[in-house]
Amino acid sequence: MQQTRHIGTRGSPLALYQARWVQSLLVERDPDTDWQIRILKTSGDQIKGELKDFGGKGLFTRELEEALLDGRIDLAVHSMKDVPTVGHERLIIPALLPREDPRDAFISVKHASIDDLPAGAMIGSASLRRRAQLATLRPDVQFCLLRGNVQTRLKKLEAGVCDATFLAVAGLNRLGAGDRITQAVPTELMLPAPAQGVVGVETRRDEVQLRETLSGLNDKAAEMSITAERAFLRALDGSCRTPIAALAEFTGSKLGFRGEVLAKDGSLRFACVDAKDVISVGDAYDFGFAMGETLRIEIDGRITFDD
């Protein structure tokens, strides 16, 4: 009898795209299993205010992990930038798919670039990181809260709720909406969120056979890079309440790393840059964690974390 496995996902168009991508890879790898998608609602999709006031980005993953633990699903597909750095002891992420473009996208129907924004322009964003970074670049603009899935935000932009907004290039590309990007912002201007552009697949630790199947999908460059980025975030005890950005790039055996922490109003910015030869995932973790610890010492209480 054919075995059935359930793939848990949120119901947004982007989440469904990512789940179907994982499904297609698993069908190719193990065609004898019936890989079915199961849509679950998460708290993060339903709240109306700012995520930081309701527990942070973990709201997008918590219900999926609960469904894993109680057996309603066998694996969960996540955008890794939404996944807390400390996971459940019974769960593991054995597969990280190849990274898409990690940059942020500036989107406007009125203005061609960040530099083109007029003084006083209204920027719609729910991201404290993006707000803080833009405040350092353009302290003359103002912000309003803009939440919802990609399509919802684009519709609000077109309706004139704001003059511009920011989304991840990766999500837009995956949805076939890359033509909506007004400016792909260079990472030298806006460093992305840790793990932006990477999809991860989570399952139970005791699922030995499934873990082996999933490990065949794992991309080493993505694993090494976001391991360092998430370790940096963990060292700083970061959440969506603190503007933290990081980007690691793994080539050959060399792992290049850039990270930064900002005050919420953009008035302070602390950055670090380094590169190191790494052999194992543990090396990548240690490197990222050390970068975070070094930056925390430099900050020396001048930025309040998670207040």
- Residues 272-299 as b/e (b if ≥16 CB within 10 A, e otherwise) read beeebebeeeebbbbbbbbbbebbbeeb
Report residue 239 as tokens: 């959440």
Alpha-helical runs (H) found in 166-305: 169-174, 208-215, 220-235, 281-299
Q: Strand, coil or helix: what is 135?
A: helix
User: Cα–Cα distance between 217 and 220 in angstroms, integer?
Assistant: 10
User: Cα–Cα distance between 46 and 64 in angstroms, integer?
Assistant: 14
Query: Catalytic pick from 32, 34, 45, 82?
Result: 82
Would residue 252 be called left, alpha or beta, if left means φ above 0 and alpha means ψ between -120 and 50 degrees? left
- Is 300 in the active site? no
Amino acid (one-letter) located at 127: S
Q: Which residues lie closer than 8 Å to 107 by C-beta, 6 or more apart?
A: 154, 157, 164, 165, 166, 167, 180, 181, 182
User: Cα–Cα distance between 13 and 248 in angstroms, integer?
Assistant: 28
Catalytic residues: 82
